[in-house]
Amino acid sequence: MDSKITKVLDIWHKYFADEENQYSEFEPSDIEYFVGCMLYNHFAFSKAHHNLKTMDLSYDFLSSCGDAYEAIQEIISSICFESEEEALAYLQSYIQEAKAKYTKPELYLLDRLDYHVSAMAERYAKNVDVEYIDFANPLLRK
């Protein structure tokens, strides 16, 4: 894993190791998920769906993540690539490495991020833009 991201993860894993800093329903994998969201937001992918141009950083996480947030945001902002495809590959690699650290029950948020990023990667591979994504529950369609 990239040394900058390793530094970010080390800071927050050390910080959240203290239960006093944790929010309700905290899972260690939340850290990797929110770092992934920060990377996603930083790269500002043009083929992201307009509703998902940015990933929501949970209020619980933001209100609990400590004073290091600005320094971590600065580290994230320093990660740059020549193309969106390179940034996408970097993010996909990060997600896979992060997922490898946890068991299936701990992967809910990382799986959600992976699903969205994979769908976006498919648009890059096919060189298509988002036209429409139906967020309706397919079980309710007739």
pLDDT at 137: 58
Q: What are phi and psi of 11, to 5 degrees?
A: -60, -50
The predicted-structure confidence for 15-28, as pLDDT tens digits, reads as follows 999 999 999 889 99
Total domain count, the chain: 1
Residue 59 pLDDT class (50, 70, 90 cuts)? confident
Domain that holds residue 127: 3-140
pTM of the model: 0.83
How many CA atoms lie less than 13 Å away from 27 in the CB half-sphere?
Answer: 15
What is the DSSP annotation of 45-72?
A: -TTS-GGGSS----HHHHHHS-TTHHHH
Give me the mean pLDDT over the 132-138 stretch: 58
What is the DSSP annotation of 70-129?
A: HHHHHHHHT---SSHHHHHHHHHHHHHHHHTTS-GGG-HHHHHHHHHHHHHHHHHHHT--
pLDDT at 1: 80
The predicted-structure confidence for 87-106, as pLDDT tens digits, reads as follows 999 999 999 999 999 999 99
pLDDT at 49: 74
Give me the mean pLDDT over the 45-53 stretch: 77
